[in-house]
């Protein structure tokens, strides 16, 4: 699915963007106007982007639930040709003030998601957002680099400076840590599964899941845990407070709502962990998705296992990140 979408996104656009540039010369905002945005005004663009654009363009919504491309896909496309900051900002504003498929540089996205709905935005806010996107490295989904490489046959290295930690909320920093842990576990699990199959991957999780999680905790000097109401490893059993959060996420999923990370108070962050089909090889039903040899190994390593019987898109557990 990702392949398909990025394929459409990147391949069909070249001709459109050339036409675009010839016809829209008059709309470029003079560099002078842009330069007037101070550093702090530009950084305001981050908050404005999250408030106004992330409902649809955020980097974290899973592929299957997306209603629009992540903002990084737009940045990559709009900067595929060399552009000044003024040209970039003008092109973003030109689209946002009146979305129209004839102006689109991402016709694949229009095809997949439908046209961006018209909303009334202030030009100054959009300029700050676009300046921020141009100047800084904005958050990318986990899969973006790899798929860019597949589609464009080139490495994707995003332009821009790193966003200063002072511009991030504590929740964003905590989420960065949870995502890094998730990626680390996921990358290693996928590799083992592919190279050695589910039984060996299971042994790998048995030995490495907790130490890998701890390595991220140690790196940032925070406490990261992966817990469940139905744990495989009894050490991962959720406590009373975590159970409350788990039950809330479960109820939301049953009600068809999507679930996402949340900061409970000034230092405690939770992020839901949901299942996909891949997980069911080890967390699905014995005799159905779980093969006999894998079931036997689970029984051997985890005599008190409670982590089977799951279906796709159910809550498997949560990440807990406790900040200082
Ligand atoms: C309600 C959902 C929604 C919101 C909110 C939203 N967009 Fe979009 N946007 C879309 C969709 C869907 C597309 C893909 C279809 C398209 O290109 O029109 C898109 C595409 C775009 C594109 C690429 C247009 C192209 O095809 O060349 C830009 C630029 C863009 N959005 C900017 C923004 C900015 C900036 C914000 C916040 C100020 C924002 N959008 C908020 C839904 C949204
Ligand atoms: C190859 C088998 C395997 C696959 C595939 C697998 N897991 Fe696990 N999972 C395990 C094992 C083994 C443990 C126990 C690790 C430990 O001892 O700390 C575990 C533990 C967990 C835990 C911690 C709570 C607990 O039950 O101990 C969560 C959460 C979890 N898995 C989620 C997932 C999700 C989500 C997926 C799919 C994206 C997945 N797992 C795929 C084998 C697997």
Ligand 2 binding pocket includes 283 (Cβ within 6 Å): yes
Above pLDDT 70, what percent of the chain? Answer: 89
pLDDT at residue 12, rounded to an integer: 36
Residue 275 and residue 192 share a domain: yes
Ligand that lies nearest to the alpha carbon of residue 101, given by its number in the listed order: 1
Residue 176 and residue 145 share a domain: no
pLDDT at residue 30, rounded to an integer: 63
Domain count, the chain: 2
Residue 197 and residue 85 share a domain: no
End position of a domain, from candidates 167, 198, 214: 167
Residue 175 and residue 52 share a domain: no
Tell me: pLDDT of 194 over 60.
Answer: yes
Ligand 1 binding pocket includes 296 (Cβ within 6 Å): no
Report the separation in Å between the CA atom of 73 and the middle of ligand 1, taken as the mean of its atom positions.
11
Tens-digit pLDDT profile for residues 88-100: 999 999 999 999 9
The angle formed by the CA atoms of residues 142, 215 and 263, to the nearest 5 degrees, is 60
Ligand 1 binding pocket includes 13 (Cβ within 6 Å): no
pLDDT at residue 33, rounded to an integer: 62
Residue 174 and residue 158 share a domain: no
Global confidence as pTM: 0.74
Q: How confident is the model at residue 32 (pLDDT cuts 50, 70, 90)?
A: low
Tens-digit pLDDT profile for residues 306-320: 999 999 989 999 999
Tens-digit pLDDT profile for residues 299-309: 999 999 999 99
Residue 52 and residue 124 share a domain: yes
Domain interval for residue 127: 2-167
For range 191-196, the mean pLDDT: 95
Tell me: pLDDT of 56 over 50.
Answer: yes
Report the separation in Å between the CA atom of 205 and the middle of ligand 2, taken as the mean of its atom positions.
7
pLDDT at residue 324, rounded to an integer: 87
Residue 121 and residue 254 share a domain: no
Residue 299 and residue 181 share a domain: yes
Residue 284 and residue 178 share a domain: yes
Residue 210 and residue 140 share a domain: no
């Amino acid at each position: 699915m990702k392949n398909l979408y990025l394929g459409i996104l990147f391949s069909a656009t070249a001709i459109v963007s050339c036409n675009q540039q010839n016809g829209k010369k008059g709309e470029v905002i003079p560099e002078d106007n842009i330069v007037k945005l101070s550093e702090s005004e530009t950084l305001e663009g981050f908050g404005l982007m999250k408030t106004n654009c992330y409902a649809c363009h955020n980097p974290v919504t899973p592929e299957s639930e997306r209603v629009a491309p992540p903002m990084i896909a737009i940045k990559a496309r709009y900067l595929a040709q060399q552009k000044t900051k003024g040209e970039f900002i003008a092109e973003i504003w030109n689209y946002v003030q009146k979305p129209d498929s004839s102006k689109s540089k991402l016709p694949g996205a229009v095809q997949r998601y439908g046209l961006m709905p018209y909303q009334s935005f202030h030009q100054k806010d959009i300029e700050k957002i676009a300046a921020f996107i141009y100047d800084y490295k904005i958050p990318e989904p986990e899969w973006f680099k790899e798929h860019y490489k597949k589609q464009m046959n080139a490495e994707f290295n995003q332009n821009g400076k790193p966003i200063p930690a002072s511009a991030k909320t504590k929740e964003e920093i905590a989420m960065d840590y949870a995502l890094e842990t998730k990626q680390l576990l996921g990358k290693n699990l996928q590799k083992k599964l592919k190279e050695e199959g589910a039984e060996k991957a299971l042994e790998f999780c048995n030995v490495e899941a907790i130490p890998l999680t701890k390595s991220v905790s140690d790196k940032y000097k925070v406490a990261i845990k992966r817990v469940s109401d139905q744990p495989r490893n009894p050490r991962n059993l959720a406590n009373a407070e975590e159970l409350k959060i788990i039950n809330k996420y479960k109820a939301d999923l049953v009600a068809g709502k999507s679930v996402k990370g949340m900061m409970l108070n000034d230092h405690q962050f939770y992020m839901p962990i949901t299942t996909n089909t891949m997980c069911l090889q080890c967390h699905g039903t014995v005799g159905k998705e779980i093969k006999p040899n894998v079931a036997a190994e689970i029984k051997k390593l985890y005599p008190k296992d409670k982590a089977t019987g799951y279906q796709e898109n159910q809550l498997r557990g949560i990440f807990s990140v406790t900040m200082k």
